[in-house]
Amino acid sequence: MCGIVGFVGKQDAAPILLDGLRRLEYRGYDSAGIAVCGEEGIAIAKSRGRLQVLSDATRGGADLPGVMGIGHTRWATHGEPNDINAHPHLSRSGKIAVVHNGIIENYMELKISLLEKGYTFRSETDTEVVAQLLDYYYEGCGDFFEALNCTLNAVDGAYALGIICADYPDRIYATRKDAPLLLGYGEGENYLASDVTALIRYTRDIVYMDDGEVAVLSDKGIRLYDRMLRPMEKEHHHIDWEIDAAEKGGYAHFMLKEIMEQPRAVREATAARIQDGRIVLSDLSMTPEQIRAIRKLYIVACGSSYHVGMVGKYNLERLLRRNVEVCLASEFRYSDPIVGEGDLVIIISQSGETLDTMAALREAKKRGARILSIVNVVGSSIARESHDVLYTWAGPEIAVATTKAYSTQMAVLNLLGLYFGDVMGTVDYETYENAVRGILALPEQMETILAKKDRIREMAKLCVDHDDVFFIGRNLDYALSLEGSLKLKEISYIHSEAYASGELKHGTISLIEDGTPVIALGTYAPLFDKAMSNVVEVQARGAKLIALTTDSHAAAMAERVDAVISIPDTEAMLLPQLGVVPLQMLAYYIALERGCDIDKPRNLAKSVTVE
Ligand code: AGP
């Protein structure tokens, strides 16, 4: 989603803004722009398309001299992606420039009232309303801070805003509501950004802004105000990951790098939480009594994080012998959910900023449920609003298509399930011990799968020229197939569907024809024979079959299918942890063969901060 950067200091702002925006590219965007306040007022450059276009057009920023400015990468919501709709947006007086992430929901109402007052609009965006409204109030009262206050009282919706005013050429104004924004503290210079990856080259001293807060940045410092606009202080966070973690490090794509990082990421997410064969969740504040008293369990998330929840449902229901409801956050929030005191809502989110997930969290919290979140980005909104957070410690994930975040979320959810099962007394000693041993072996087993990359690349060729692919599986394999299918469609643009194998014959099998690729998952041993029957079923209709199974079933599977890839045998509950790796690689190599923009797939954003 849209990315915001801001810089105020003593050196030229434009190259720093462009560099910051480059590091936010992974969030997804379709146009970009910068505004710099120089001696002659505010100069703006913006353009549709990749950041390089903007950089070339401004000679790397050299055409916009000035030590203070704001920048933006836009992911279009209101108005098509073009130069005019790109941010920053300038007010009628030419004195105020605004960048915005989010949606101003009452923009039409505000726009009509401004039109009646004689304002005209250049763009189709909701954001321009903010610029013109600020202009209107500022003209009326002559006090910019007051004008900002009036504007914020008038707008509804979600926003992170970076604002500059030519009358105050030494200041950037920033505020947020339901969209991420953080402040970076430097020596004689200060920064604003949507996430830390934009700032890590310049500072590691960060403050996360909360809803309703306003910041005024200058080269002398940052003044912070609470939602009543009273001066306030906030806790500073030190970012300790290395800049290399946000660079490609020799890989062709971030996605490939992040696939390859999974053994390390899963090890980091789990090893420190296992001591002498016991799972120790020292970051969990729930007491054994509170765990035993849980009335109902929900898992709420979006996209791949929701798919982790689907795997979690199978595993947690087995471990805890109780019902686990998995909900799409975007549905949960509007479903008048039957959730309340005594219930535990597990929120899963890589970014910790997904708007629907955040709204679902607030809804559940408002109704009295306890919130435990599994989050990657430290200090993110979801993490801060939860009663408990288990961080996944995957490091920065840059590719839009999640890989290592998915794996670490699943690893943490499995640990949680085993821990709860132990406390609740629903997991026997042997299951617990075997699972812990299995978890510790995962990183090494993942390495053996990664070593099969050439074979998987070869298999990818079977799907490259097709428009439709089906994934089928039962039980945990079905949950896993959802993720395999999403990975494929988001980066290769091949239409694919994931089906519970038993459902095929109730309609979808009519779509299988000669040569249709079907990726059959048969890793779950208790249902291997059923998986084989479904393989035969689609084969009889002409399907071309790629199968995923375990080493011990590979030979039996190979007799029936066109190509087979196997994963090491492990405990049933851990199979998706291994099975997802070849599916990620398959999607990656198919997209590579098709020449797709793998790290920045069309229309997608890394962090979905709009509804
Ligand atoms: C998957 O590859 C996507 N990036 C997407 O489905 C993602 O998982 C979803 O938008 C949820 O994001 P979150 O985990 O940051 O909340």
Catalytic annotation on 2?
Answer: yes
- Given this model, what pLDDT does residue 607 score? 77
Instruction: Give the SS3 label for residue 610.
Output: coil
**Chain centroid to CA 207:** 20
Whether pLDDT at 600 is above 90 = no
- Given this model, what pLDDT does residue 240 score? 78
Whether pLDDT at 242 is above 80 = no
* Averaged pLDDT of the chain: 94
* Beta-strand pair 274-275/172-177: unpaired
- Given this model, what pLDDT does residue 380 score? 87
Q: How far is the CA of 530 from the centre of ligand 1 (A)?
A: 31
Give burial (CB, 10 Å; 0-12/13-18/19+) of 470: buried
Nearest by Cα to 392 from 411, 414, 379: 411
* pLDDT (average), residues 196-211: 92
Pocket test for ligand 1, best of 75, 305, 407 (most atoms within 8 A of CB): 305
Pocket test for ligand 1, best of 350, 353, 485 (most atoms within 8 A of CB): 350
Q: How far is the CA of 301 from the centre of ligand 1 (A)?
A: 9
C-beta separation of 435 from 571 below 8 A: yes
Write the pLDDT tens digit of every residue in 51-88.
999 999 999 999 999 999 999 999 887 888 899 999 99
Whether pLDDT at 29 is above 90 = no
Q: How far is the CA of 583 from the centre of ligand 1 (A)?
A: 17
Whether pLDDT at 578 is above 90 = yes
Whether pLDDT at 283 is above 70 = yes
Give burial (CB, 10 Å; 0-12/13-18/19+) of 497: middle
Q: Where in the chain is the domain with CATH 3.60.20.10?
A: 3-240
Write the pLDDT tens digit of every residue in 499-516.
999 998 898 888 999 999
Please identify which of the residues 2, 165, 302, 596 carries the catalytic annotation: 2
Q: How far apart are CA 505 and CA 72, in angstroms?
A: 49
Phi, psi of 41 (to 5 degrees): 95, -155
- Given this model, what pLDDT does residue 606 score? 80
DSSP code string of 165-223: ETTSTT-EEEEEESS--EEEE-SS-EEEESSGGGTTTT--EEEE--TT-EEEEETTEEE
Q: How far apart are CA 236 and CA 216, in angstroms?
A: 16
Q: How far is the CA of 604 from the centre of ligand 1 (A)?
A: 10
Q: Is 384 left (phi over 0), alpha (psi -120 to 50) or beta?
A: alpha
C-beta separation of 414 from 439 below 8 A: yes
What's the sign of the alpha-carbon dihedral 534, 535, 537, 541?
positive
CATH architecture of 249-449: 3-Layer(aba) Sandwich (3.40)
452-595 folds as Rossmann fold (3.40.50)
Ligand 1 atom closest to the Cα of residue 402 is 2
Ligand 1 atom closest to the Cα of residue 302 is 11
Interhelix angle 404-424/429-450, nearest 10 degrees: 170
C-beta separation of 412 from 390 below 8 A: yes
- Given this model, what pLDDT does residue 2 score? 86
Edge-to-edge strand ranges of the sheet holding 388-391: 324-328, 297-301, 344-349, 370-375, 388-391
User: pTM (2 decimals)?
Assistant: 0.80
C-beta separation of 89 from 128 below 8 A: yes
Whether pLDDT at 246 is above 80 = no
Q: How far is the CA of 607 from the centre of ligand 1 (A)?
A: 7
Q: Where in the chain is the domain with CATH 3.40.50.10490?
A: 249-449, 452-595
C-beta separation of 481 from 576 below 8 A: no
Write the pLDDT tens digit of every residue in 96-149.
999 999 889 899 999 999 999 999 999 999 999 999 999 999 999 999 999 999
* pLDDT (average), residues 225-252: 84
* pLDDT (average), residues 28-42: 91
Residue 88 structure tokens = 């920053």
Nearest by Cα to 95 from 34, 9, 44, 164: 164
Give burial (CB, 10 Å; 0-12/13-18/19+) of 92: middle
- Given this model, what pLDDT does residue 244 score? 67
Pocket test for ligand 1, best of 254, 351, 490 (most atoms within 8 A of CB): 351
Nearest by Cα to 7 from 191, 172, 181: 191
Pocket test for ligand 1, best of 255, 302, 374, 485 (most atoms within 8 A of CB): 302
Q: How far apart are CA 360 and CA 363, in angstroms?
A: 5
Confidence of residue 579 (pLDDT cuts 50, 70, 90): very high
- Given this model, what pLDDT does residue 257 score? 93
Helix segments in 2-94, DSSP class H? 13-24, 51-57
Instruction: Name residue 246's amino acid.
Output: A
Q: How far is the CA of 352 from the centre of ligand 1 (A)?
A: 10
Confidence of residue 371 (pLDDT cuts 50, 70, 90): very high
User: Which superfamily, per CATH, for 3-240?
Assistant: Aminohydrolase, N-terminal nucleophile (Ntn) domain (3.60.20.10)
Ligand 1 site residues, Cβ closer than 6 angstroms: 302-305, 349-351, 354, 357, 400-402, 490, 607-608
Ligand 1 atom closest to the Cα of residue 605 is 4
Write the pLDDT tens digit of every residue in 521-559.
999 999 999 999 999 999 999 999 999 999 999 999 999
Please identify which of the residues 46, 95, 600, 606 carries the catalytic annotation: 606
Atom 3 of ligand 1: nearest residue by CA position: 401
Ligand 1 atom closest to the Cα of residue 606 is 4
Q: How far is the CA of 183 from the centre of ligand 1 (A)?
A: 24
Whether pLDDT at 239 is above 90 = no
Write the pLDDT tens digit of every residue in 294-316.
999 999 999 999 999 999 999 99
Atom 7 of ligand 1: nearest residue by CA position: 303
Ligand 1 atom closest to the Cα of residue 401 is 2
